Structure 1
Amino acid sequence: MSRAIGKEKKNNMTEGVIWRSILLFSLPLIAGNIMQQLYNTADSFIVGQFVGDTALASVGMSGTIGFFLMAFMWGASTGSGVVISRYFGANDRLNLGKAVHTTMILSVIIGAMVSVLGIVLAKPFLMVLGCPEDMMSTAILYIRIFFGGMIFNAIYNMAAGILNAVGNSRRTLLYLGISSITNIVLDLLFVAVFRWGVAGAAIATCVSQLISAILIVINLLRTSEPYGLRIKELRFDSLAARQIIRTGFPTAIQNAVLAFSNLLIQAGVNAYGTLAVAGFTACLKVDGFNILPVMSFSLAATTFVGQNIGAGRMDRVKKGTVTAMVMCIIYSAVISMIMIIFRTKIISIFSESDAVVEYGVQCLMALAPFYVLLAVIHSLAGAVRGSGHTVPPMVIILISLCAYRVAWIEIAAPLFGSIIGVYLTYSTSFFVGAALMVIYTLRGKWLIPKTYGENRSPS
């Protein structure tokens, strides 16, 4: 075993009070995600107010397509996070360094691939989704510019995954804060002042992502910790890559198929016209204030379980899983009540059109009351992934949030004769996913840590 890693206390989740460790790790992530969602929302708000409902709908279409194309990037980020947190918890300097440097190389490769795919496939995707003709040109323009800067997004997210895996989520909060403020300022400048329309919003996003990528890479280069980036050690390690890909591939597949089901939902909404798409976009921007913090708790559970398994602290794993789930449920319950009570005022921020607001409110009321179920799904899935068992959560989410949704859209949604049938795809799938995830977790097989069959003995 290599000499022990000199961990700062704030990074170590293998000791101390469990709820405090998870909360201290989660809070910067939640704050960062809320900040990120604020600038995403600012994009939509500024575009909606200064350009119009068609432009607002165009920005929304890009999010659905982006989620699909970025699925493998997020899967690789999850895989590297699990591998790095395990090596960090085990004080394994050698393999930790190899995993970190391989992760950064993968970020450039994956980012470049996603960028090219997004630019080339923008129009075909929109045509398949039945994008309304009046928003086709603006949607293509926004998507192509947005994906032109995707390599910066990939570098930041993979690098942030490294810091999160070792428990250092405060730095990612700082960089997200700087990026968010930059994005909002540039949005106002490019869209409200220069009148560049959706192109201005897309350029603002790319520039802000470039800044966050530069800042986080500089941090990794300057840190003296063993998870730091060293130019002389920057090489592709095939074993580390296999571990990352093998661990992250199920999550990537899960995200891709989940995104496919969301594309079908988007197509269902598109059938009701541009105003419906604008309302749907407004709802999903608001929905981000629930789902992103939920994913923060999920990541906290993944990191907590990964570090404690690496350190041999199995006594803390089950307790940490329950704690993360309870925290996640409490947050979702609170945000759910806020959105239900103030639903009309919230959606009205994005558009003055009564039709757009009505579509958005209907969507929000189909989602918000069931947020606690989504909290159960993702918090438990995060804990299970941390043990290295990434396939079961993938299968459960594929069944509940993908296959079920496809069946609902094709069979049940048309029976309602309105857009409500499309919106209910989300809430009904939450019930299925929560039930399956709880049943699997209670069986306990995931508590037997999954080992890496090709581990090397560190020198």
Structure 2
Amino acid sequence: MSLTRQDRKMTLFALTWPIFIEVMLHMLMGNADTLMLSQYSDNSVAAVGVSNQILFLLIVMFGFIATGTTILVSQYLGANNYKDAKGISSVSLSANLLISIIISVVIVIASEDILLLMNLPRELLPEATVYLQLVGGFSFIQALIMTASAILKSYGYTKDTMYLTIGMNLINIIGNYLFIFGPFGFPVLGVQGVAISTVVSRIIGLIVILYMLKQRVHFTINLKELFKLPTHHLKNLLHIGVPTAGEQLSYNTSQMVITFFITMIGTEALTTKIYTQNLMMFILLFSMAVSQGTQIMIGYLIGAKEYDSAYKRCLRSLYSGIVISTLMAIIFTIFSDPLLGIFTSNERILEIGGTLILLTILLEPGRAFNMVIIGSLRAAGDIRFPTYMGILSMWGIAVPIAYILGIHYDLGLVGVWIAYICDEWVRGIIMLYRWKSRAWMTKSFSHRPAVSS
């Protein structure tokens, strides 16, 4: 199967393994600030933890432009339309820069008020405010990195973004070490130092990734052209990004409601959920990487009008995702006790957590259905159907069943996990039907006539 130009190397495996490593590093190192601060002060950990909840929502908001960028650039490259591929790259960087600068300013001005709205204890407010103002104030840098990374991945350079992630994490950890423990005469700055090292690692990361864009795809930011936003490109970006962001926000909100149900069961149940989901995330990594790699390939194939190849590619990726996630779930079930034992020695948590990981054997294949097929539908330009079905399933299946089984019938976390399984499988089967209907074949962005701005 040929995709375009140099892309004889663009196999699913070649795209996927660097994405897998990158996402795993984000997962392992994303909490480096919190883990290292735990050696400094429990209050500092709590302050940074609350601030990071707010910053995570910003990442979701920036991510909707990056998602649209991946899909549109892939489709244009598949259609050998390099001019529009660069055009959409420029528009996506401009749009995310404008949005993120506004958000960054708001965060700096209103950080204390936002933290108070989250009912943060007064004694944690000074440290949390410093962290949120520094990291949030420079969040526009992260927005640009996410967008530039999406462009590079769309061109097939997934290893470049992996190396960048490794480098940024190393710089961040070194900075944390210097400012938390104060070796070689460095000042011990605690939370402020952690924020500084985070910002510095991102600034260096931005410089490097912009250099990568210039070297790899000959894309150079022209300040005069940067803020010319062609209407048709911006419209396509928002057409993909806004529903995707809406679905992500809906998912996060539904999970908050289910977490509230779990708090009704008890603190031990909430702790068990956190530990179990921490382990489950490593199973999810495989489906996530396969989904992202497949999305890029589907975009190319749709752009090249190779619809039959795109149809088969999605199904092959789906089978791979199901097999890998099922095998990983089985392995984690066999070793559930020692894995959960990393976090706790509580026999009750080990017992319930082991049952939940066993149920994961049913849950993860259903999740693979959704991640792979929804990514493929979006790559083909079919945006609204998976979004609407996702929101309907989250609130019509997952939330009510979690309450009915978990709370009303007193099944606890097992009832909640059954709700997750029902949500993933019902939605997954509907998505498979949608893919097999081939309704997505008429929704490509790369073949729509451009509308002059």
Equivalent position of 1:16 in the other structure? none
State the one-letter code of the partner of 1:365.
I
Please say if 1:34 is aligned against 2:24.
yes
Aligned partners of 1:245 and 1:284: how far apart in 2? Answer: 32
* Match of residue 208, structure 1, among 191, 201, 204: 201
Distance change (3 Å), C-alpha of 1:107 and 1:263: same
Equivalent position of 1:108 in the other structure? 97
Query: Any residues of structure 2 matched to 1:223-372 within 5 Å, and which?
Result: 223=216, 225=217, 229-230=221-222, 233-234=225-226, 235-268=228-261, 281-349=274-342, 354=346, 361=353, 365=357, 368-369=360-361, 370-372=363-365
Distance change (3 Å), C-alpha of 1:227 and 1:395: farther
Equivalent position of 1:17 in the other structure? none
* Match of residue 445, structure 1, among 422, 439, 450: 439
Aligned partners of 1:418 and 1:56: how far apart in 2? Answer: 29
Deviation at 1:160, TM superposition (A): 0.7
Q: Deviations over 1:155-209 (max 9, x none)?
A: 1111111111122212111101111222333333444557655555554433333
Equivalent position of 1:7 in the other structure? 5
Deviation at 1:69, TM superposition (A): 3.7
Distance change (3 Å), C-alpha of 1:346 and 1:60: farther
SS of equivalent residue, structure 2 residue 17? helix
Please say if 1:167 is aligned against 2:152.
no
Equivalent position of 2:374 in the other structure? 381
Contact 1:279 1:360 in 2 (8 A): yes
Aligned partners of 1:127 and 1:279: how far apart in 2? Answer: 28
SS of equivalent residue, structure 2 residue 381? coil
Distance change (3 Å), C-alpha of 1:317 and 1:452: closer
Aligned partners of 1:138 and 1:425: how far apart in 2? Answer: 38
Aligned partners of 1:324 and 1:167: how far apart in 2? Answer: 17
Contact 1:56 1:281 in 2 (8 A): no
Deviation at 1:400, TM superposition (A): 2.2
Structure 1: gaps of 5 or more residues: 14-20
Aligned partners of 2:7 and 2:73: how far apart in 1? Answer: 18
Greater Rg, structure 1 or structure 2? 2
How many residue pairs get aligned? The number is 443
Contact 2:72 2:445 in 1 (8 A): no
SS of equivalent residue, structure 2 residue 13? helix
Please say if 1:91 is aligned against 2:91.
no
Contact 1:73 1:154 in 2 (8 A): yes
State the one-letter code of the partner of 2:434.
Y
Which moved further from structure 2: 55-64 or 126-135?
126-135
Distance change (3 Å), C-alpha of 1:376 and 1:6: closer
Q: Deviations over 1:346-377 (max 9, x none)?
A: 4554x568499769947963874322211111
Deviation at 1:316, TM superposition (A): 1.0
Aligned partners of 1:315 and 1:449: how far apart in 2? Answer: 15
Distance change (3 Å), C-alpha of 1:95 and 1:154: same
Contact 1:287 1:364 in 2 (8 A): no
Distance change (3 Å), C-alpha of 1:451 and 1:98: closer
* Match of residue 78, structure 1, among 63, 67, 76: 67
Scaled by the length of structure 2, the TM-score of the pair is: 0.81
State the one-letter code of the partner of 1:71.
V
Distance change (3 Å), C-alpha of 1:274 and 1:410: closer
Aligned partners of 1:138 and 1:355: how far apart in 2? Answer: 36
Deviation at 1:296, TM superposition (A): 2.5
Aligned partners of 1:201 and 1:359: how far apart in 2? Answer: 37
SS of equivalent residue, structure 2 residue 30? helix
Deviation at 1:103, TM superposition (A): 1.1
Equivalent position of 2:13 in the other structure? 23
SS of equivalent residue, structure 1 residue 70? helix
Equivalent position of 2:428 in the other structure? 434
Distance change (3 Å), C-alpha of 1:358 and 1:282: same
Contact 1:108 1:154 in 2 (8 A): yes
Q: Deviations over 1:48-86 (max 9, x none)?
A: 56545x766665555554444433322211112111111
Aligned partners of 1:58 and 1:337: how far apart in 2? Answer: 37
CA-atom RMSD in angstroms: 3.9
Which moved further from structure 2: 73-82 or 193-202?
193-202
SS of equivalent residue, structure 1 residue 167? coil
State the one-letter code of the partner of 2:357.
M
Q: Deviations over 1:96-124 (max 9, x none)?
A: 22111111112212322443555677677
Distance change (3 Å), C-alpha of 1:159 and 1:63: same
